[in-house]
């Protein structure tokens, strides 16, 4: 049995993953070794969708999170504030006008 590809992945790290991840990252998130991940792919029993890109395997993050039982991403207050500020700028009919009070 080969060693895992690093320490187990926590929620915060999992939520910051890009749209697709490499097999090493997916194996780490699943808590299996890279060798086991390759064996599961060969047996067509890897628990997530596997995309073959050239000689590399890519795993869609949404499938990986779903496999881990994480169906929704958390919403953080900072993200809501940034989104509200962005929406306010979009709704401003005159973004470059400056009001003068005299």
pLDDT, residue 4, reads: 57
In a domain, 97, yes or no: no
In a domain, 100, yes or no: no
In a domain, 99, yes or no: no
Q: How many domains would you assign to the chain? A: 1
Q: What is the pTM of this model?
A: 0.60
Range of the domain at 55: 11-91
Q: What is the pLDDT along the chain (102 residues), one digit of tens a residue?
A: 455 566 777 767 777 778 889 999 999 999 999 999 999 999 999 999 999 999 999 999 888 988 888 876 655 566 667 667 777 776 666 655 555 555
In a domain, 1, yes or no: no
Helix axis angle for 34-42 and 23-30, nearest 10°, is 100
pLDDT, residue 69, reads: 85
pLDDT, residue 80, reads: 63
Q: Dihedrals φ, ψ of 45, to 5°? A: -125, 15
């Amino acid at each position: 049995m080969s060693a895992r590809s690093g320490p187990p992945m926590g929620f915060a790290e999992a939520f910051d993953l890009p749209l697709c991840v490499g097999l090493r990252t997916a194996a780490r998130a699943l808590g299996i070794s890279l060798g086991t991940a390759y064996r599961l792919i060969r047996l067509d029993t890897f628990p997530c969708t596997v995309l073959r890109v050239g000689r590399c395997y890519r795993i869609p993050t949404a499938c990986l999170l779903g496999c881990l039982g994480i169906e929704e991403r958390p919403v953080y207050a900072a993200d809501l504030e940034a989104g509200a500020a962005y929406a306010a700028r979009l709704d401003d009919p005159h973004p470059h006008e400056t009001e003068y009070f005299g």
